[in-house]
Amino acid sequence: MTVTPAAPATSGSQPLRRMVDERVDRLRRVSDTTPGRIGLAGLALLLMIILTGTLSAVGIAQRSGAMHHLIGQSEPRATAAQELHGALSDADATASRAFLSGGLEPADVRQRYDDAIVRAQTALAVAARGSAAQTAVPITELATQVPVYVGLVETARANNRQGLPVGSAYLREASSLMRERLLPAASELYRVEAASQAADVDAADDFPVTALLFGLLVLAGLVAVQLWLTRRTNRLLNVGLAVATGAVAVWLLWSVIAVSSQLGGLDDSIRRGSAQMEVLAQASVAARQARADETLTLVARGAGSAYQEHYAQVMDSLGGPDDRDSLLGRAYALTTDDAVRAEIDSAAGNVVAWREVHDELRGLDDGGQYNEAVALAISPDDNSAGSAFARLEADLDEAYRLAEQAFNEEAGDARDALTGLAGGIVVLTVVAATGAAWGTWQRLREYL
């Protein structure tokens, strides 16, 4: 049997190869002539300008979008998560404080508890708005368990008003729910939102080196073509190419100035704002947890050793400016503004004062003077534990407010530095491309 040899595998590619070779030869012949070189130079410039302008405009638009998302979405949600954690801690501390009053608690204490719950619910709604899928579990936990906590506190109050000892058991159950489920869920929510905030910062925190290098390459190409045309045609000035060069130079200079300003503002917003805000928020939560521990120790009437131990741990974590590992020490180290530093100094002094009053309070309680201990805990007198805590809380809240104000100012300036830049690059790209095309065409038509 005769076997027909298979056709060479490359036989079908011969026409295509010939066509490519012909195009390459034609291009080589064109490039050997002055008109051909002018046309190729103009085409190369046009493509480089359009590509670089597009990349630059898209990069600036993405950077600007990250700044707008940071200021309008991720930072408010992270702040709301911090506020949620603080409001829940405040509610827990205030509920136990109200319980010590016995019977019908003071109206201002009840109002503070109600306000804390409203703040927590409002903050939860803000944090949940447009949040990521990773926050679904903690948000669901908080949304379902906050009403349970409120119900337990109301039951404890109802029994306390009637003088029933079971009221303290309901209050301890409510506090356990707060510490074991609600506060951990709030912490997880903040962790996710803080990660989203960090991602926005990362997206807006790098210098566009690649776009800048491409822009410099385009600028160098425009200058090189103009010098070559001057030598070939003895024409000193090419208006079109000069306009294109000016347009590219303007967009590069504008980009460098605007991005440098944006990066500086973003860095300042972190250094003067968000870095301090996180630590100050943790310190506020710790102070409120310590206050809840202090009052719950009294509510437990001899069975509150666990609360007292936790109080000591939390107060140690607060520390002071000299303890660099403590919350106040870390906040002090991060502080750049004198006003915030003064608030932290005052907070450290109030921590010391509170601990001294607390030791006196514990001495009274352990010595059988329960009523005197309760009075020292909740009295409006300046020397009471409640007053020392209130001063500490005010210091931390004011320091946080100042840091948040600094963040908003610096981040706003950083965002505004990019205003109009993406659109301006598009316009300048069109001007540069038009100028390059017109400039090379003016010389090319002289040979036609």
For 271-322, write each residue's pLDDT tens digit: 888 889 889 988 998 998 999 899 889 888 877 788 899 999 999 999 877 7
For 340-390, what is each residue's pLDDT tens digit?
A: 999 999 999 999 999 999 999 999 999 999 889 999 998 888 899 989 999
Residues recorded for the chain: 448
In which band, very low, low, confident or very high, does the pLDDT at 60 lie, cut at 50, 70 and 90? very high
In which band, very low, low, confident or very high, does the pLDDT at 9 lie, cut at 50, 70 and 90? very low
The gap from C-alpha 342 to its chain's centroid, in whole angstroms, comes to 25
The gap from C-alpha 405 to its chain's centroid, in whole angstroms, comes to 14
18 or 75, greater pLDDT = 75
No. of helices (H) and no. of strands (E), the chain: 16, 0
In which band, very low, low, confident or very high, does the pLDDT at 177 lie, cut at 50, 70 and 90? very high
**What pLDDT does 32 receive?**
59
In this predicted structure, the answer to whether residue 97 has a pLDDT above a threshold of 90 is: no
Q: Please tell me the pTM assigned to this model.
A: 0.79
Percent of the chain with pLDDT over 70: 91
Question: CB neighbours of 14 closer than 8 A, spacing ≥ 6?
Answer: none
How many beta carbons lie within 10 A of that of residue 446, not counting itself? 12
